[in-house]
Amino acid sequence: MKLTIIGAGDAFGSEGNMNTCFHLENEDIRILLDCGVTSLVGLKKNQLEPAHLDFILISHLHGDHFGGLPFLLLDLFRGNRTKTLTIIGPKGIEKKTLALLELLYPGVQTDLDLRLILFKEYPTNQLLETDYFKLQAFPVIHSAPSLPHGLKLFIDDKIIAFSGDTEWTDTLIDLSKAADLFICECNFYEKESKGHLNYKTIIRKQEEFKCKHLLLSHLGEDALAHQDHFKIPIAKDGMEISI
């Protein structure tokens, strides 16, 4: 199974990094974890065909995490897509996505065969099962209206955990437990900020994460300025990881 980091940046494109988006593939399916505004460009930059996607999993309803969906949908139908794309997210994912599509491209929905798009809402703290994987969503602490969740993906014999955007919460310990890879946001170096983590906190709590590998993502300007001091691997746009 291969993970390609399409975007590991924050909401502001600090140092030119793409918005959050991770591409996961095995022999059977291709999945996106989050789909920030820059995701379509990032996929094509990495020579990954959007039309091959089977699932998109959304951690929360902020533009740098789900705002790329309208552009992706337009591109899929431009290529005469014939297979179903399943988009799984928090409550309201279908309504929010279609509203954003209409806002950005008024009237375009009449030209798209939306029957090929299946929207699903994940339940909190319960397993959602598909034919290919299981998904568990954990509530985390970020902007409440965005319905923030950390995601834990059980696929093949592997576990991949993703914090989404959050400040410290003990929920992260359960989220990371037994994960082969835990992708954790690290927006700041030592600055305390509502809704986000910093490196100093992660270092202090690191031993509580019961995961095999920890990877930091979503670094903002403050964290990037101190990245040479990091002792935990940092996600980089274009990085490929074998899991």
pLDDT reading at 117 higher than 80: yes
pLDDT the model gives residue 224: 97
Write out pLDDT tens, residues 71-92. Answer: 999 998 887 677 899 999 999 9
Distance CA 179, CA 128 (A): 17
Domain 2-242 sits in CATH at 3.60.15.10
> In whole angstroms, what is the distance from residue 162 CA to residue 157 CA?
17
How does DSSP classify residue 50?
G
| Prediction pTM value | 0.97
* Residue 237 designated active-site: no
- Sign of the CA dihedral with 207 first, then 210, 214, and 219 last: negative
Which residue is catalytic, options 34, 64, 165, 237? 64
Residue spans of the domains in the chain: they are: 2-242
Residue 101 has pLDDT above 90, yes or no: yes
**Amino acid making up residue 45:** K
The per-residue pLDDT for 113 is 81
Contact 178, 153 (CB under 8 A): no
